[in-house]
Amino acid sequence: EIPQPLCLWDKPCLTSTSYVKCSLVPPHNVPLGFRILVYPWAFFFSFQMSWRPTYRSSKFRNVYGKVGNREHCFEGIPITKNVHDNHFCAVNSKFVAVVTESAGGGSFIVIPVSQPGRLDSHYPKVCGHQGNVLDIKWNPFFENIIASCSEDTSVRVWEIPEGGLRRNMTEAVLELYGHSRRVGLIEWHPTSSGILFSAGYDYKILIWNLEIGEPVKMIDCHTDVILSMSFNTDGSLLATSCKDKKLRVIEPRSGRVLQQASCKNHRVNRVVFLGNMKRLLTTGVSRWNTRQIALWDQEDLSMPIVDEDIDGLSGLLFPFYDADTHMLYLAGKGDGNIRYFEITTEKPYIQYLMEFRSPAPQKGLGVMPKHGLDVASCEVFRFYKLVTLKGLIEPISMIVPRRSDTYQEDIYPMTAGTEPALSASEWLSGIDRDPVLMSLKDGYHRPNQLVFKAPVKEKKTMVVNGIDLLENVPPRTENELLRMFFRQQDELRRLKEELTTKDVRIRQLELELNNLKNVSPNNV
């Protein structure tokens, strides 16, 4: 039977909305009061055809997350309870480093990747900082070199021995002082071997040349705390997000701001460069306090290309971008889920793929570099998830399901290797080079022949009346005063021990002298 027609023009609930525009707006030549009759089956068919989603083929649409077995996890880790918005974890092909709880200063622990299991409660730590450690990053070219920053206003560079620590490490290769307040972020330059960036709560970014151990540039264009930093592929541009709700693209050598966006409808928290696509992706909060991501053109930050709401949770969204597969991973602080998308240069630009779900909330996430992945199992990304409540580090592998056991060249293109493209002095002179690429086909067996050499500084003195004026510069800030206080306490402790030792020696010499007098008083 042919169903009875419906009169849509008489329905005020339909005419007052704009769900189906073409079916409800009468032509201009229809007399007033004329009824438009539409059969329900025809209306339903046209509605379904107009709203059908476009199908897009992708080789990554079936990527799934695989949690490591119990024997691959690290247990018994005293993970820090600091509420600073950072990952507190850094990973390379040799070591896993995690910021830990400690009394009387800051420390982090370094564990070889090949030695999972339960950690001994007396496992040695890197404990040279005098305040809480806020960020740690491995050098991308020297896998035994790690940098850390702390609330004690210092940035320190450490050299971890082969095989891991055997005792507590307190002496750093380099101690870098230049910030007047605590240092919250550090980033290594992606192509230069000796350039380190640090961002402090004094609203400044310092560029350190580790070949001389000195700051060579200060970027002073922010008016509030810097929340994140990200480099493009060759390190010629630096993107920052700031607490002043502004997104900036900076030329790092000159400190000049090339582009700037005032994000009123999208409060930016984190920013990441999308490889060579000349795009930026930010995570933040919308005006309705929903978590949101936005895609920007790096050459025009006036308006985002597209923005998309994620959910209504309150945890910070951390973005991770894989330039080789063009996949974006979103992990929320305090969530157990990791969403992943594919980024394209054409509409819709951001294509949702799937979501990894876990009941355990994550404190932070470390990411394994490409040359540390398991190519045989088609692993394209690997997280190391910090679960504070369990004291657990859990590896999560993102795997592309393939039936063939051969090397999959389409998911493993040439990727950035462990050889620097230029030195610190070359980069500072104005040279930019793309990363030196390597293939993962034969596995990663090529050792880096470079050796990190710390600069030897000559100590300058200016002594007046027995006082070194350069060593006794009056402190300018409260943190400098605390640092000088702790340094003087250590010096006083050392002098007291030296004085006690000399007192004991004097008593021994006096006793020996008395013995000599008693034995032969005439010969003395």
Contacts with 343 (C-beta within 8 Å, 6 or more apart), sequence order: 274, 277, 279, 281, 295, 321, 326, 327, 328, 349, 350, 351
pLDDT for residue 128: 86
Whether the predicted pLDDT of 481 surpasses 70: yes
- Give, for 219, the enclosing helix (H) or strand (E): strand 214-219
CB-based contact 400:380 (threshold 8 Å): yes
pLDDT attached to residue 111: 95
pLDDT in the model for residue 460: 43
Segment 515-522 shows an average pLDDT of 71
Binned at pLDDT 50, 70 and 90, residue 504 comes out as confident
Mean pLDDT of the 396-408 span: 87
State yes or no: pLDDT of 307 exceeds 80. yes
pLDDT at 31: 45
- Checking if the pLDDT of 411 tops 80, the result is yes
Residue-level pLDDT at 60: 86
Q: Average pLDDT in the 152-171 region?
A: 92
pLDDT of residue 520: 63
Percent of the chain with pLDDT over 90: 53
More confident residue, 302 or 6: 302
pLDDT at 413 over 80: yes
The residue with greater pLDDT, 268 or 32, is 268
Q: What is the pLDDT of residues 415-447, one digit of tens each?
A: 998 899 999 999 999 999 999 999 888 754 444
Long-range CB contacts (< 8 A, 24+ apart) of 179-182? 179/153, 179/154, 179/155, 179/204, 179/206, 180/153, 180/476, 180/477, 180/479, 180/480, 181/153, 181/477, 181/479, 182/131, 182/134, 182/150, 182/151, 182/152, 182/153, 182/479
More confident residue, 461 or 250: 250
DSSP 234-289: TSS-EEEEETTSEEEEEETTTTEEEEEEE-SSEEEEEEEE-TTSSEEEEEEEETTS
Q: pLDDT of 195-230, one tens digit each?
A: 999 999 999 999 999 998 899 999 999 999 999 999
Which residues does 132 contact at the CB level (< 8 Å), separation at least 6?
80, 82, 84, 106, 150, 151
Residue in the block written with tokens 């071997």: 193
39 — pLDDT class (breaks 50, 70, 90): very low
Higher-pLDDT residue of 5, 390: 390
- Whether residue 473 is predicted with pLDDT greater than 60 in this model: the reply is no
pLDDT score, position 475: 60
Strand partners, 385: 365, 394
- 334 by Cβ neighbours in 10 Å (0-12 / 13-18 / 19+) ranks as exposed
Q: What is the pLDDT of residues 310-335, one digit of tens each?
A: 988 888 999 999 999 999 999 999 88
Q: Examine the pLDDT at 258 and tell me if it is beyond 50.
A: yes
- Mean pLDDT, residues 354-383: 92
Task: Report the SS3 class of residue 30.
Answer: coil
Query: What single DSSP character describes residue 26?
Result: P
Taking the alpha carbons of 174, 179, 180, 185 in that order, is the dihedral positive or negative? negative
According to the model, what pLDDT value does residue 443 have?
Answer: 57
pLDDT at 189 over 50: yes
Closest by CA position to 321, among listed 357, 282, 285, 361: 282
Helices (H), 56-176: none
Q: How sure is the predictor about 193, in pLDDT bands with cuts at 50, 70 and 90?
A: confident
Contact (CB, 8 A) for 88 and 364: yes
* Residues 6+ away with beta carbon under 8 Å from 115: 164
pLDDT of 21-36, one tens digit each?
333 344 444 444 444 4
Say whether 5 sits in a helix, a strand or coil: coil
Q: Give the pLDDT score at 452.
A: 63
Q: What percent helix, strand, coil does the chain show, rounded to 5?
A: 15, 35, 50
DSSP tag of 169: B
pLDDT digits (tens, 9 = 90+) for 92-134: 999 999 999 877 778 999 999 999 999 988 899 999 898 899 9
Q: What pLDDT score was predicted for residue 315?
A: 86
Average per-residue pLDDT for the chain? 82
- Write out pLDDT tens, residues 370-389: 999 998 889 999 999 999 98
Query: How many whole angstroms separate alpha carbon 320 and alpha carbon 306?
Result: 18
How would DSSP label each residue in 335-353? -S-EEEEEE-SSTTSEEEE
Q: What is the structure's pLDDT at 18?
A: 36
Q: Which amino acid is at 450?
A: L
Tell me what pLDDT residue 325 has. 92
Give the residue, 487 or 356, on which the prediction is more confident. Answer: 356
pLDDT band at 403 (very low <50, low <70, confident <90, very high): confident
> Rounded to whole angstroms, how far apart are CA atoms 92 and 160?
13
pLDDT at 95: 95
